[in-house]
Structure 1
């Protein structure tokens, strides 16, 4: 395979990974907001444990490949030595509120589109255009002012990974210790519930999702070594890549789609296959103008917020976390807070009710 063939093969490999990811997510209802709603309002943590398992598996698999030299994360934007703290917080809050307004995250919208949801198509169109505008369009000036100009310079440390920060603070290489403590702690929490330990479908779902994300790092690293064209080292996100899909559909720039574009398209195909398999595909539209306006606003917030935070729930919560970037837990925590405020406003009538507590019950062991 020469360099040109490698560059063309990259989106095809991304498409195949996306088909697996979309099929598994749709078949087993892997959804961030749904998991959070069940945990907050009914005390059911199975969905959240499945989600955290995906993130943990992605992190452990990625770090193992880094140690073996299979994956090189040096050039990924997640580990750049400028920590956009304002972007992680503001973008995460915006994305979380957008999730609540839409009823799912960017990845969930892609999966729902595969099942025939025209509401999700509207969301993704707005999200994609807002993301591209924020990354390299008019809204990019806002991003530069609020995020880039306020970034914390960590060049003295090398990058913004959690192990690098710990190593600088402790005076020795704390990478293995950090990986073991973080991974072991999360696995202990995930499997600390006896009921979840018997949910083999959930365990398999979380494992497959995490491995698909880790595979993205390996695939893009490999193709970057044999392609004549520059290859972005990435693994999975559903904010800017959605906008890139739109651009490739409506324009011809002479460039070949990258791995992220292939992943997004593949997820739609995989979700469609799962819908066909489950016989649950159906056309869905907004019921009225109020619902449509809510979806438009939510899509815009997720598009802008996803770029501010350098990723969506998958892009930061799973992919970013797999690199152990310091921005990942900050951005994801902000998304959780934004989603909680948005859901409280929509369900309980006031965003501030999120701080009164008492909404979620005790998670059962069975």
Structure 2
């Protein structure tokens, strides 16, 4: 009876939010049609991919921040293993295309960046910001789109931090660094094999540590009322399904845009547009004098692939939250939590810019591109998460390491 009641309550919430469902769906459809008509059909397709990413991220609750925090505090590695599946599927798809240089007769390139001081410092800052801000780049977008007011504050300061990093980006770029290196240089087969071995080692370590702490691996728990076909509409989706879907959608981005999925360059662009509007010329900063960045700054954001996809993610997550009956924004944010949003957002934005990307552009798409800078980013971002987890109790009034029962 309790399960029936709970299921009924969820159904009532979903029905109550049907106007939001229709509204979010209409917004996404109108945005796709508008971009398709005024820019190109390809750009509209990229917004559609963004909408699909938002739905997958929300319904699968695919979080990088929470997965790393749970592993650090509880040694539960299900989320980290899902990330290894995500990366494994991605490299199998990406490496042959990147090695050939074309996909469906269109030129493609990966995200391959130098390995230097800026990557290490920026990734560490980003890692701390993940735990204080409450999310990563993708997590901030999909939770903000899902109606989380706290994450909207994080997003705002994410943008501010991104703009601040562009002011002295040239100084960070001048620091010692090695040339960009990609495992694709080993050949598609060699690069895939090397990557899969590394993913397997990481997954095996999580299994070993989880069994040592708990005696057994954590099983995915799905409420009985969500095991039917309704779960595909209202969620939650299986975590591994989310991992595979995200990898496929990133590959679709590569096919359509000629490069992988990224997020945070758009935040710097949005902030620079605001700075322009108040009379300051960001074009004087070296970051915006680089050819691609200068072009983006001079054009409409609707021509920017990353911006269009980010907007799609927000609208897709809003639609998913409404379908799940969970779109309930609340402006009640405790003072310390608000402070964490501000500090975390600034660290996320600044760190992502100087590290050549975030958990998506550097970690997911970087490793999918074979870039060694993606692996370095992962190591230093994880170190930042260790520090961020230690700082969380001050802001969120919770223990740094939850009590764990079992052997």
Q: TM-score range by the shorter chain?
A: 0.7 to 0.9
1:24 aligns with 2:56: yes
Matches within 5 A, 1:23-172: 23-67=55-99, 69-70=102-103, 72-74=107-109, 76=110, 78-79=111-112, 83-135=114-166, 138=167, 141=168, 143-145=169-171, 147-152=172-177, 154=179, 159-164=180-185
Equivalent residues of 2:115, 2:376 under 8 A apart: no
Distance 1:313 1:345 in 2: 20
Number of residue-to-residue matches in the alignment:
321
Distance 2:406 2:139 in 1: 24
Equivalent residues of 1:85, 1:151 under 8 A apart: yes
What displacement does 1:198 show? 8.3
In our comparison, the structure showing a higher alpha carbon Rg is 2
1:11 aligns with 2:43: yes
Equivalent residues of 1:43, 1:362 under 8 A apart: no
Distance 1:335 1:306 in 2: 10
Q: 255, 264, 269: which is aligned to 1:218?
A: 255
Runs of 4+ in 1 over 4 A off after TM superposition: 4-7, 71-74, 187-200, 245-254, 358-364
What displacement does 1:42 show? 2.3
> Could you list the per-position Cα deviations for residues 128-179 of structure 1 after superposition, in whole angstroms to 9, with x for gaps in the alignment?
23213423xx2xx2x322x31124353xxxx421354xxxxxxxx5652232
Q: 254, 263, 279: which is aligned to 1:238?
A: 263
Say which SS state the counterpart of residue 79 (structure 1) adopts: coil
> TM-score normalized by structure 1?
0.77
Equivalent residues of 2:95, 2:188 under 8 A apart: no
Question: Structure 1 280/326 Cα, relative in aligned 2: closer, same or farther at 3 Å?
Answer: same
Question: Structure 1 72/359 Cα, relative in aligned 2: closer, same or farther at 3 Å?
Answer: farther
Question: Structure 1 100/114 Cα, relative in aligned 2: closer, same or farther at 3 Å?
Answer: same
Matches within 5 A, 1:303-342: 303-342=349-388
Distance 1:65 1:363 in 2: 47
Distance 1:345 1:127 in 2: 19
| Residue in structure 2 matched with residue 229 of structure 1 by the alignment | none
Equivalent residues of 1:38, 1:45 under 8 A apart: yes
Question: Structure 1 291/189 Cα, relative in aligned 2: closer, same or farther at 3 Å?
Answer: closer
Matches within 5 A, 1:243-282: 243-245=268-270, 253-255=298-300, 256-282=302-328
Question: Structure 1 246/17 Cα, relative in aligned 2: closer, same or farther at 3 Å?
Answer: farther
What displacement does 1:301 show? 0.6
Distance 1:129 1:274 in 2: 28
Question: Structure 1 40/297 Cα, relative in aligned 2: closer, same or farther at 3 Å?
Answer: same
**Which sits farther off after the overlay, 305-314 or 57-66?**
57-66
Equivalent residues of 2:123, 2:355 under 8 A apart: yes
Gaps in structure 1 of 5+ consecutive residues: 165-172, 222-233
Distance 2:196 2:405 in 1: 25
Q: 338, 342, 345: which is aligned to 1:299?
A: 345
> Could you list the per-position Cα deviations for residues 294-343 of structure 1 after superposition, in whole angstroms to 9, with x for gaps in the alignment?
21111111000001111111111101111111110111211111011111
What displacement does 1:186 show? 2.0
| Residue in structure 2 matched with residue 285 of structure 1 by the alignment | 331
Equivalent residues of 2:146, 2:317 under 8 A apart: yes
> TM-score normalized by structure 2?
0.69
Say which SS state the counterpart of residue 41 (structure 1) adopts: helix
Distance 1:292 1:15 in 2: 31
What displacement does 1:95 show? 0.5
